[in-house]
Structure 1
């Protein structure tokens, strides 16, 4: 593959990702039901379970394994015990429930310490990176709408044996 071909492929991928992200609702426009579930896909596209597993395990993205244990990801060290184990989570929750919990767990569990992964405002004095100053304006969500769908798709594979 020539340098120009790789460059054009990268631009095409970037444009398709940007167009796809533009279709996703803003975090403040997500509709939660009375129990915190989100019925509609945030992207209108199915999530990728393999990407979801990567996000769940990646300490710079979802970082879910810091608090949760997942036997399927046994090769990821130092899994946490703060939150419930995620083994069999697809048997305990619906896809809509999981989407709501991942997007903003406080809609389902008001006292939880789990971060809202698809939220950009309504925080109480968030910091501006590592500057020690308060952030100005809305923040970017921790995960994109597609990343939320990918995590949910992976969680839906975690059924009891």
Structure 2
């Protein structure tokens, strides 16, 4: 029994390491023509999980800046960024991936939207956050999958 548990644990560790190896590192994301064509993980995003991340104040916190009719029961929609209604019609998934991963690569340094999958976050970053992204590569894919569902 102990040997079988050790084998399962070893297989899980190798599988988890392999999954991380397939992730594109933030500094290796390829922005081309205002889009990121390749998935950051090779795994499709989950729109249900993406919806949760979108409204989570400790993760994406997208509602702080964007209104979203799909989340009308949530409090405190911001108006700094564009409304998300119809975003899936306005942008292709590759464009959404670029915007969410690092809006400054798409809109320029003047945008207030953070790079959710970027380590270029400016100066005076809290020491324990240096080199870390706001969202993981898979969370980016999940949010992209969710926002792509927002059709008019």
- Shorter-chain TM band: 0.7 to 0.9
Question: Which residue of structure 1 lines up, in the alignment, with residue 139 of structure 2?
Answer: 147
SS in 2 for 1:108: helix
Q: CA RMSD in A?
A: 2.2
SS in 2 for 1:44: coil
Question: Which residue of structure 1 lines up, in the alignment, with residue 45 of structure 2?
Answer: 47
Note the C-alpha offset of 1:15: 6.8
1:57-101 superposed Cα distances (whole Å, 9 cap, x missing partner) = 000000000000111111211111111100100111111100000
Q: Structure 1: which 5+ runs fail to align?
A: 130-134
More helix by share: 2
Query: 2:122 aligned with 1:123, yes or no?
Result: yes
Preserved contact between residue 36 and residue 97 of structure 2 (Cα < 8 Å): yes
SS in 2 for 1:151: helix
Distance 1:62 1:68 in 2: 11
Selected match of 1:106 from 104, 123, 141: 104
Distance 1:115 1:25 in 2: 19
Question: Which residue of structure 2 lines up, in the alignment, with residue 73 of structure 1?
Answer: 71
1:98-151 superposed Cα distances (whole Å, 9 cap, x missing partner) = 00000000011111000000012463232235xxxxx6xx42110000000000
Distance 1:38 1:22 in 2: 19
Note the C-alpha offset of 1:20: 1.9
Query: Which aligned runs of 4 or more in structure 1 are off by greater than 3 angstroms?
Result: 14-19
Preserved contact between residue 115 and residue 121 of structure 2 (Cα < 8 Å): no
Distance 2:55 2:69 in 1: 12
Question: Which residue of structure 1 lines up, in the alignment, with residue 89 of structure 2?
Answer: 91
Q: 1:40 to 1:64 in 2, by over 3 A?
A: same
SS in 1 for 2:127: coil
Distance 1:155 1:122 in 2: 23
Note the C-alpha offset of 1:18: 4.9
